[in-house]
Structure 1
Amino acid sequence: MKLITLLFCVLCFTACKTDDDNGIDCDLFDPANRNLFIELVDGNGNNLIENNTFVADDIKVLFNGNTITNVVFNDVEGIENLIALSLIGEAGNNTFEIQLSSEITDTLILNLKAESQICGWTFFSLNSATYNDVLQTIEDFNGNYIISVIR
């Protein structure tokens, strides 16, 4: 009888197992979201962070009641003087406020498409980016995205 009970328990446990995470151990899973990089330039193509029009350490991103700091990585080769944002939010439009200084805040609307979900993380692709009501051209940036905003 004990053997039958044990087999029944094993059968119950294996029947409840799902393959939603494709055999991934979610305790060890380290998600890597795609990113959007924003280059702020003037009409002549000069980078406004590089020329200190906007101070990199002062730039903040506000999203869903959260403040994200340190969004400019000047110590990482290849992405210097760019604002970096992970594609987070929900499928559809997501509004971010880019606080460039204490006096200047811009609005970025990202339209995201949910691509997949693993271990409770949703991964998105970028359909469109609108910066201060201007639809931006999205370019590939080493598997991520980049927009150049003329400000």
Structure 2
Amino acid sequence: MKKSICILGFALAGFVLFQACEEQSQQTETEKTAKFKMAEDSELALLMRQLTDETEAIREAVMAGETHPLWKRVQELHTAIPTDPASSGPVFQGFSEAFIGAVREMEAADSLGVKHFNAVIDQCMDCHSTFCPGPKRRIAKFYISE
């Protein structure tokens, strides 16, 4: 009988300790997640994603020899607020002007051509070589073999 009571006592004590540790572990996990806040996407990041989606559609049209509306919001590159304000400035403005110029040349061309499309992609690569190099691998996949 005493042996049963001892075993029951140890089991109960073990259960209580296990529960206490589990609660503390859950609190620690909650505290860890609370410390990290996801940054909201900047205007420029959202614009870049939209331009990427449009680029995919334009690329398909160029490859199929079809017409397609070109990038609609390119002028917003000048005013969209970046994630890092230090990324804005005269150098970025120069890159955005070059990109917009390449888009305008493509618009003025008689048809959607591989040469003009790749020139626009060149401008993307040039800018992303200086600012935010992360998407370069994805951008490189847009090139169309001539």
The verdict on a shared fold, with TM-score over 0.5 as the criterion, is no
Between structures 1 and 2, the one with greater helix share: 2
Bigger relative CO (Cα 8 Å, ≥ 6 apart): 1
TM-score for both structures, normalised by structure 2: 0.25
The structure with the largest alpha-carbon Rg is: 2
